Structure 1
Amino acid sequence: MKLTVLVPALAGLLWAGSALADSQLEITNPYVIQLLDGEPVNPQLLDKATVFPLSAGKHQVVVAFEGNYSNRSETKLVTAEPLVINFTAADNQHLILDYKKPRKAEEARNFIKDQKVALKDETSGKVLESEQFIMPTVGGFQLTRDYQQELLKMGKAFNQPATVAVSSAAVMAAASAPVGVAPSKAQSNPEALTQLQSWYNKADAETRKAFQIWVIQQQ
């Protein structure tokens, strides 16, 4: 009987210890979370302050600045391209974006030029090391954007698939390889041609298109 009671009690203690080891990521306005570890988050479902659980290890968060500085007489919305932050979380951390929050539209316009933020652990007061970059502007009208697909094409997605990484490497290798010229000016190189064909076959459609454009530009 004692053993029957003891087993659930130990299980509860282990679960509680595991829960206490989890970390949290808090994102507050005017930043809105878009992706967490490659998974999209619907902004319409988010509150002004949203907390997400994190396990210890590597993570990637994509946030977008969406500042609303409107008043009764004028609408003032300030937005920016999404900011991507790669970081490694430890146990028992409460992570927040640390920056000087713009109070006016003019301050916000100046802020989004660089989007200088730090990822800070409120528990310890320490700033985490992180890799940050702003996603490039997409031309044309975009009703919605697939940030994960954009990151995959850039080769910077969370847990980037090996096949995409190989394709990117193929483009770089092909770009640095000697360009074949007419037989009258130089001898052909069968080994180099075979290697180029191999790289080309391994590349995806977008990479092949980029390579074709590059070849045409060299002519």
Structure 2
Amino acid sequence: MKIRNYAISFGILLGSFTALPAIAASFEVPRSFEIMYVDLESASQFGNDFKVDLDEGQHQIVVRFNKLLRSGGDTHEYQSEPVVLDLQFTKNGYLILKAPYISNQKQAEANAKDPQFTIYDDVTGQDVDYKKKSLTTKSGLQNTRDYVSEIEKVTATKTLDSMRSDSGPVRAPILMAEDVALGMMQFWYNESDELTRKDARIWIADNMYKPKVANTQLDMFQFWVKKADKEAKKEFQAWLLK
């Protein structure tokens, strides 16, 4: 009886461990920064303002310098424009944003204008390369800004620019339309492998279809299809037939 009870208890304990989700990768910032968005989703969906857990692969993470300093009994806030980072995460990777310690008003003002930092890989012990783009400074109340729309436009502009200058493998020709969504659908379709392209073609014709693949290319393709209007979708389907 004791052996049986022990076996049952061990099975329950083992089951509780296997039920826990595995964390593929993490990203952390110091207290002088905040994580605003991960792949256009609020950071609160992934963890908190200072550390997020996410799947391996490429992710777009938006951060900003955000420092409170006390001076003469008053508290002053110094905040930069959001900075869009393109980062590649490996399985069980741990990337850390490292920034200088800010102790006075002059340092805070300088970093609010131009945040200084590096991205450090805590697993390899090396700094990592990354691409970044800051949003344009705007006047007026910041809490009325639609940051997600601004980030979408910045991302689309960078991606379309890379399409025009890319000298890599042969791709389907891009229609240089004014419609950003159309260009982005074409881009992510071109970035996909054959299985993903097949699922994308079926899904765009029947959005009730459940794709068999799951990857960043298909996620981004679906994102931009949902953003596109009817005319852009028709143009994309016509482009597929060329």
TM-score w.r.t. length of structure 1: 0.59
Secondary structure class of the residue paired with 1:76: strand
- Partner residue, 1:23: 25
Contact kept in structure 2, 1:37 and 1:61, CA below 8 Å: yes
1:51-130 → structure 2 map (5 Å cutoff): 51-71=51-71, 73-130=73-130
Q: Using the aligned pairs only, state the percent identity.
A: 24
Deviations 1:15-35 (A, max 9, x none): 77x82x611111231111110
Please report how far the alpha carbon of residue 159 of structure 1 lies from its aligned counterpart in structure 2 after TM superposition: 9.6
Rounded to whole Å, the distance in 1 between the matches of 2:117 and 2:154 is 22
Rounded to whole Å, the distance in 2 between the matches of 1:157 and 1:87 is 18
- Partner residue, 2:198: none
Please report how far the alpha carbon of residue 38 of structure 1 lies from its aligned counterpart in structure 2 after TM superposition: 1.0
| Amino acid across the alignment from 2:85 | I
Q: What is the alpha-carbon root mean square deviation over aligned residues?
A: 3.8
Q: What runs of 5+ residues in structure 2 fail to find an aligned partner?
A: 1-7, 161-173, 185-230, 234-242
Q: What runs of 5+ residues in structure 1 fail to find an aligned partner?
A: 169-200, 204-219
- Partner residue, 1:198: none
Please report how far the alpha carbon of residue 57 of structure 1 lies from its aligned counterpart in structure 2 after TM superposition: 0.5
**Structure possessing the higher relative contact order (Cα contacts under 8 Å, 6 or more residues apart):** 1
- Partner residue, 1:36: 38
The aligned length equals: 162
| Amino acid across the alignment from 1:69 | L
Deviations 1:93-128 (A, max 9, x none): 221101212222211212333323221111221122
Rounded to whole Å, the distance in 2 between the matches of 1:10 and 1:66 is 43
Rounded to whole Å, the distance in 2 between the matches of 1:158 and 1:31 is 24
Cα pair distance change 1:13/1:73, threshold 3 Å: closer
TM-score w.r.t. length of structure 2: 0.54
